[in-house]
Amino acid sequence: MAKFKGRVWRFGDNVDTDQIIPAEYLTTGNPAELAEHAFAKVRPNFPSEVRKGDIIVGGCNFGSGSSREHAPRALMGAGISCVVAGSFARIFYRNSINIGLPLIQCVVDVEDGAVLEVDTDNGIILDADSGKEYGFSPLPAFLQELFDAGGLVNYVKRKMGV
């Protein structure tokens, strides 16, 4: 069961992995270090202003570009609780699932700073400011288990008793 409540960071369509974490900062896999440079070229204030629990809302094709796992790691390191977007690039989606970053496919019309409440069990996003609700297909139980475990590796370790 997952519920998130956080402040929105709004992005448009076609946000690629180079925008999320520019290539020159790929010298580490440490999420906290990556977070220091997240959106460095498109939203320079992001690393200093993002708070644990914040939510990214994007348009279509969020996470396009190269297949680097660093992009979702940077978002997790920054404290992002989930990403809501109209659609996701396939590899970004898979990488996010593997490391435990919840992605919600839903078109949401909100601005920067709005507060959203996301209920993955019931498939509801509530704009806490306006009261408007958005629906999405609830996440399957298996994905919920992956996110609860903190990603695929931790999930497998739990199942194997490691």
Tokens coding 160: 């194997």
Q: Domain spans of the chain?
A: 3-160
Percent of the chain with pLDDT over 70: 99
Amino acid found at 119: D
pLDDT of 1 higher than 80: no
CA dihedral 8, 92, 90, 113 (to 10 degrees): 10
CATH no., domain 3-160: 3.20.19.10
Least confident of 6-15, 16-25, 123-132, 140-149: 140-149
Instruction: Specify the pTM.
Output: 0.93
Q: What is the pLDDT of residues 69-100, one digit of tens each?
A: 999 999 999 999 999 999 999 999 999 999 99
Cα(129)–Cα(64) distance, rounded to whole angstroms? 30
Contact status, residue 102 vs residue 2, Cβ threshold 8 Å: yes
Residue in the block written with tokens 């989930």: 82
